[in-house]
């Protein structure tokens, strides 16, 4: 008989989500994810909420590369990296990521969550301070929570350079000062002020860590992410990112940094020392996704023009969307139940967009988060805008 306190705690939470109409609904897809998808019990919908920025999640060459990887390397590594889990495709993928983002070396992980979670517990030491943007991704927050308790943690106001600089001055006695930011903020869609952050970090001899999960393959002329967008390639000390969004969309993440920092992560990082390697199929698919991005930079132009068309359409319809150059377009609603109701109505109208409420975004700042894909055709964009017009 399970513990009664545990049972009633769970029931209470689930009932309160139900009565406040904030319970998340988990849609089941019957087939691959593209510009459209088949949702079980709903039918065909246009996808306006995936991270499939380049339309590579179901690209025939990406799928075929995964199948070949499966045939060549088998189903899995059955091991962590340092025992017998390092395959040739891991080495090739890491070399490719490093050269793609302009870093000396890279290390792959099963997700960007585990990549981020490796960074601070492994690399920050007692006597250091880590300064984190207030809107950083949950995986960065958890990475900071897991680091040595004698590393000072501080949060600076979102993209507030004065606040960051004041905090850095206050921590001038620390052995290493770390500044960590998302490249593209996942809920707001805004871009970190990278040139200014690089300048501040150089002046304060601080290390800059950028999680470019929503920038890689989505920002910059050739998809190299936020550093390319600002012409700052090679100037960030540690870049992390995901392979689970633009670069194939399956799973996987990476850290790209100096050869020594990568070696310390290999030697000491708990999330790779004690957890299996990235499946070979995924590594092979991600490598192919980078090939395609390099071969077809026009995908970036298509993503930008689709984003511009949707932003212009939302503005015409009078929706409140903060401006930014990224493919993430939050439509601010306020109340979580209202955002969820609107997302349900859009689904009925054949468009999949999810409503986000607390704790994913702050209380009272619920929104519909639109995410654009290069795979959308003009006809899809028109149908989406028609649906929003009916909201």
Ligand X SMILES: Cc1ncc(COP(=O)(O)O)c(C=O)c1O
Q: Which residues are catalytic?
A: 186, 214, 245
Q: Which residue is nearest to ligand X (CB)?
A: 111
**# residues near ligand X by CB under 6 A:** 14
Count of beta carbons in the 10 Å neighbourhood of residue 42:
16
Among 90, 177, 214, 299, binds ligand X (CB under 6 A): 214
Between 287 and 385, whose beta carbon lies closer to ligand X? 287
What are the residues whose beta carbons fall under 8 Å from the beta carbon of 270, sequence distance 6 or more? 118, 121, 122
Residue 182 lies near ligand X (rule: CB under 6 A): yes
Q: Please tell me the distance from the alpha carbon of residue 345 to that of residue 352, in angstroms, as a whole number.
A: 10
How would you classify residue 185: left for phi > 0, otherwise alpha for psi between -120 and 50, otherwise beta?
Answer: beta
Closest approach, Cβ 240 to ligand X, in A, equals 7
Closest approach, Cβ 241 to ligand X, in A, equals 8
Q: Is 44 helix (H, G, I), strand (E, B) or coil?
A: strand
Buried b (16+ CB within 10 A) or exposed e, 79-117: ebbeeebbbebbeebbebbbebbbbebbbbbbbbbbbbb
Residue 213 lies near ligand X (rule: CB under 6 A): yes
Q: Please tell me the distance from the alpha carbon of residue 348 to that of residue 45, in angstroms, as a whole number.
A: 9
Residues 322-381 binding ligand X (CB under 6 A) are none
Residue 133 lies near ligand X (rule: CB under 6 A): no
Q: Please tell me the distance from the alpha carbon of residue 8 to that of residue 288, in angstroms, as a whole number.
A: 49
Residue 226 lies near ligand X (rule: CB under 6 A): no
Whether the Cβ atoms of residue 164 and residue 131 lie closer than 8 Å to each other: yes
- Tokens linked to 302: 């298509």
Among 52, 77, 108, 111, binds ligand X (CB under 6 A): 111
Between 50 and 171, whose beta carbon lies closer to ligand X? 50
Whether the Cβ atoms of residue 349 and residue 45 lie closer than 8 Å to each other: no
Residue 253 lies near ligand X (rule: CB under 6 A): yes
Between 77 and 240, whose beta carbon lies closer to ligand X? 240
Residue 29, Cα to own-chain centre: how many angstroms? Answer: 21
Residue 113 lies near ligand X (rule: CB under 6 A): yes
Query: Which contacts (CB < 8 Å, 24+ apart) does range 339-347 have?
Result: 339/366, 339/367, 339/368, 340/21, 340/22, 340/25, 340/366, 341/21, 342/368, 342/391, 343/368, 344/25, 345/391, 346/387, 346/388, 346/391, 347/27, 347/39, 347/42, 347/45
Q: Write out the E strands in 253-297.
A: 253-257
Q: By CB under 6 A, which span of 7-15, 106-114, 195-203, 262-270 interacts with ligand X?
A: 106-114
Among 186, 226, 235, 281, binds ligand X (CB under 6 A): 186
Among 137, 224, 288, 311, binds ligand X (CB under 6 A): 137
Between 286 and 381, whose beta carbon lies closer to ligand X? 286
Closest approach, Cβ 318 to ligand X, in A, equals 28
Closest approach, Cβ 85 to ligand X, in A, equals 18
Q: By CB under 6 A, which span of 23-31, 96-104, 209-217, 259-267 interacts with ligand X?
A: 209-217
Between 306 and 326, whose beta carbon lies closer to ligand X? 326
Query: How many Cα atoms within 13 Å fall on the side-chain side of residue 158?
Result: 14
Residue 218 lies near ligand X (rule: CB under 6 A): no
Between 35 and 241, whose beta carbon lies closer to ligand X? 241
Q: By CB under 6 A, which span of 108-116, 151-159, 322-330, 349-357 interacts with ligand X?
A: 108-116
- Tokens linked to 268: 């000491």
Footprint of ligand X (CB under 6 A): 111-113, 116, 137, 139, 182, 186, 211, 213-214, 242, 244, 253
């Amino acid at each position: 008989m399970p513990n009664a306190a545990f049972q009633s705690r769970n029931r209470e939470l689930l009932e309160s989500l139900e009565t406040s109409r904030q319970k998340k609904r988990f849609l089941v897809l019957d087939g691959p994810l593209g510009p459209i998808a088949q949702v079980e019990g709903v039918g065909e919908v246009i996808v306006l909420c995936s991270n499939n920025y380049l339309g590579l999640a179901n690209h025939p060459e990406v799928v075929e590369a995964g199948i070949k990887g499966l045939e060549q390397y088998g189903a899995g590594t059955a091991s962590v990296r340092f025992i017998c889990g390092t395959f040739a495709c891991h080495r090739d993928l890491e070399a490719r990521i490093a050269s793609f983002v302009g870093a000396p070396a890279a290390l792959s992980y099963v997700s960007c969550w585990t990549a981020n979670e490796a960074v601070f517990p492994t690399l920050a030491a007692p006597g250091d301070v880590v300064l984190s943007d207030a809107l950083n991704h949950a995986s960065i927050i958890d990475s900071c929570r897991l680091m040595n308790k004698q590393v000072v943690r501080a949060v600076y106001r979102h993209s507030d350079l004065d606040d960051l600089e004041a905090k850095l001055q206050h921590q001038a006695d620390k052995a290493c000062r770390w500044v960590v930011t998302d490249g593209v903020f996942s809920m707001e869609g805004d871009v970190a002020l990278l040139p200014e952050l690089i300048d501040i970090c150089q002046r304060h001899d601080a290390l800059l860590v950028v999680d470019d999960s929503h920038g890689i393959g989505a920002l910059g002329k050739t998809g190299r992410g936020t550093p390319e967008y600002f012409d700052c390639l090679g100037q960030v000390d540690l870049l992390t990112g995901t392979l689970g969004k633009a670069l194939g969309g399956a799973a996987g993440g990476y850290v790209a940094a100096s050869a020594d920092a990568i070696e310390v992560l290999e030697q000491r990082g708990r999330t790779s020392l004690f957890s299996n390697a990235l499946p070979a199929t995924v590594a092979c698919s991600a490598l192919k996704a980078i090939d395609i991005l390099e071969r077809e930079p026009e995908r970036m132009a298509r993503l930008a023009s689709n984003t511009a068309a949707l932003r212009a359409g939302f503005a015409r319809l009078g929706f409140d969307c903060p401006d930014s150059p990224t493919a993430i377009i939050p439509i601010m609603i306020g109340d979580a139940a209202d955002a969820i109701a609107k997302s349900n109505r859009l689904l009925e109208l054949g468009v999949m967009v999810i409503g986000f409420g607390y704790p994913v975004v702050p209380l009272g700042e619920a929104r519909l988060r639109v995410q654009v894909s290069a795979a959308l055709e003009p006809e899809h964009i028109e149908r989406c805008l028609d649906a929003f017009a009916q909201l």
